[in-house]
Amino acid sequence: MASYTAGRVPAFVSLGMVVVDELRSPGKTPRTNIPGGSGTFSTFGARLVSGRDQAADVGCFILAGSDFPQSVLDRLEEWDIDLTVKVDPTRLSTRGLLEYHDAAFSRKTFHYTTTPLQPTPKDLPLPLLAASSFHLLAGPADLERQVGELLRLRSQSRDTSERRPLLVWEPLPIQVSAAAREAHLAACRLVHVFSPNHLELIMLFQGPVSPEEADDAAFRTDLVEAYADAVLDAGIGPDGNGTIVVRAGSRGCLVSSTQIHGRHRWLPAVSFAHGSRRAVVDATGAGNTFLGALTFAMASHDHDVLVAARQATVAASFAIEQIGLATLERPADGQEEERWNGQTFGERFKTHESMQLL
């Protein structure tokens, strides 16, 4: 195991995978060794919110095989995060093929090309195990196992806080169905925040969503709120007072909690001015980025979920401007703020902050 910022207890860790992707698109040379996966993008979201000064509070764990590319490590090391790599020399790294089927990048397919190496709490070194928050991407059964293992290992260590860590759950899309609704509702009681996207939430209650229902023109805020209410009524978190954050793409996000007056608040998505050089290129990883930012903001800055969700919304906008990760531009003199794709996180957040709650 190699740790690049050893000993410090981070505010955030994702138990998602860091995947080495190959990207293919029509008429272009394939791109290889591209960092991807929920672990990568959620860490990216946390790092956007942390800024340079708190970068070391962002933990990142990679379960790697013998062939893990140095170029991916180099990219992540640029962020100055608490990066830990555990290598299994008998296995190949988690690799995937992300294939775009049109020039607009609107149709895509993904599959793993090696057997995935899924991190679990027992893989984490003590400093990461002691983190104050975790992002988890899992089905209900796996979530129950991971949370149980995480809490058990933390209870056995004198170096971890007795306080229960903040747990943010992103449901595994392929396991979301009406048949699995009760399992998801039961698992929600283990976490503080449950965050499906709007189509996944609808699928939990209605079953498969047709192309017509998935069309943006068919979007219904009342339906999303009704199903969010049903999740709240079933109970989220150990005390039943948790939050559901529904990610809804261009519609923004819905934050619902019994602790919010009226239960529901819609936050608008970041909008790019018509004719701006900034545009939506590829939404891959945007949801993971959102949740990494949300988790870090809630845990590190002690923000309420509405403020954290606004920061997460801004973070997600940096994930959709390009294929892959945004480019970090360091200030030459070390005094100015760092920039991502030519803009600071603070600048974009300030602009978005001026938009009123719907």
Domains and CATH numbers, the chain: 2-353 (3.40.1190.20)
Q: What was the pLDDT predicted at 103? A: 77
The 3-class secondary structure across the chain, one letter per residue, is CEECCCCCCCCEEECCCCEEEEEECCCCCCEEEEEECHHHHHHHHHHHHHCCCCHHHEEEEEEEECCCCHHHHHHHHCCCCEEEEEEECCCCCCEEEEEECCCCCCCEEEEECCCCCCCCHHHCCHHHHCCCEEEEEECHHHHHHHHHHHHHHHHCCCCCCCCCCEEEEEECHHHCCHHHHHHHHHHHCCCCEECCEHHHHHHHHHCCCCHHHHCHHHCCHHHHHHHHHHHHHHCCCCCCCCEEEEECHHHCEEEEECCCCCCEEEECCCCCCCCCCCCCCCCCCHHHHHHHHHHHHHHHCCCCHHHHHHHHHHHHHHHCCCCCCCCEECCCCCCCCCEECCECHHHHHHHHHCCCCC
Q: What was the pLDDT predicted at 162? A: 74
Could you report the per-residue pLDDT of 257-277, keeping only the tens digit for each? 999 999 999 999 998 654 455
Tens of pLDDT along the chain (358 residues) come to 344 444 578 999 999 999 999 999 998 999 999 999 999 999 999 999 999 999 999 999 999 999 999 999 999 999 999 999 999 999 999 999 999 988 777 789 999 999 999 999 999 999 999 999 999 999 999 999 999 999 999 999 877 767 899 999 999 999 999 999 999 999 999 999 999 999 999 999 999 999 888 888 789 999 999 999 999 999 999 999 999 999 999 999 999 999 999 999 999 999 865 445 567 888 999 999 999 999 999 998 777 899 999 999 999 999 999 999 999 998 877 667 899 999 999 999 998 887 654 4
Q: What was the pLDDT predicted at 297? A: 98
